[in-house]
Amino acid sequence: MILVIGNRNYSSWSLRAWIALKVLGVPFEEKRIALYGPGSKQAILQYSPAGKVPVLIEDGTTVWDSLAILEYLAEKQRSLWPADPLLRARARSISAEMHSGFPNLRNHMSMNVRKRYPGKGRTPEVLQEIRRIDGIWAQAKGPFLFGPFGAADAMYAPVVLRFRTYEVKVSNKAYYEAVLALPAMQEWIAGAEREAESISKFEMYE
């Protein structure tokens, strides 16, 4: 199994698939492609028809998009989704909401693990989206959203890092701290700290 990811410091979508594999203990080979640099798009296209990361490759099968990868993994590791049908439906709903929603948070609080921007990015629209996320986390069953770590937590793990960067206060601090304390999350953060690449927000969103 090969997982193609982007920069740890910037690639929130890569983190979702990566942390799920790590927490599950699934062996995989990691291939990292530095984003936004010369030739990066062409390098990614060698693995992904969509030209984006993450990409999972196994036995001739290519799966791209973080949510699709989580669903693929869940077919092998059913613990990624709650066993209860109602909870599973809710977990899938909030995962899909994160996948397609929160555009203002993405644009004004871009992922940058190494930096700290206290008080920045708080437009009225961003604050509304923060309140929505805070409400989702407030219903966590503990220690994670549905008890044990699952696909929904993988989807929201990058938000934990965004909130860390912008020093956003949340009502369910226990959930926030539980995700940060994961050995896999600490490994990701340490890797981001070692990366040399540095880009501007403008370059990320052009």
Q: What is the pLDDT of residues 8-55, one digit of tens each?
A: 999 999 999 999 999 999 999 999 999 988 899 999 999 998 999 999
Q: Which of 12, 47, 77 is the last residue of a domain?
A: 77
Over range 94-99, report the average pLDDT: 98
Q: Do 184 and 118 fall within a single domain? A: yes
pLDDT for res 37: 83
Q: Do 32 and 95 fall within a single domain? A: no
What confidence tens digit (pLDDT) does each residue in 97-156 have? 999 999 999 999 999 999 999 999 999 999 999 999 999 999 999 999 999 999 999 999
201 pLDDT band, cuts 50/70/90, is very low
Sign of the torsion formed by the C-alpha atoms of 45, 72, 204 and 50: positive
The CATH number covering residue 149 comes to 1.20.1050.10
169 burial (CB, 10 Å; 0-12 / 13-18 / 19+) is exposed
pLDDT for res 200: 54
What confidence tens digit (pLDDT) does each residue in 44-71 have? 999 998 999 999 999 999 999 999 999 9
**Does residue 63 form part of some domain?**
yes
What is the domain count for the chain? Answer: 2
pLDDT above 80 for 204: no
* Residue 66: HSE in the Cβ half-sphere, 13 Å Cα cutoff: 26
Please give the torsion angle defined by the CA atoms of residues 20, 1, 88 and 169, in that order, rounded to the nearest 10 degrees: 20
**Does residue 196 form part of some domain?**
no
pTM: 0.94
Q: Which domain holds residue 31?
A: 2-77
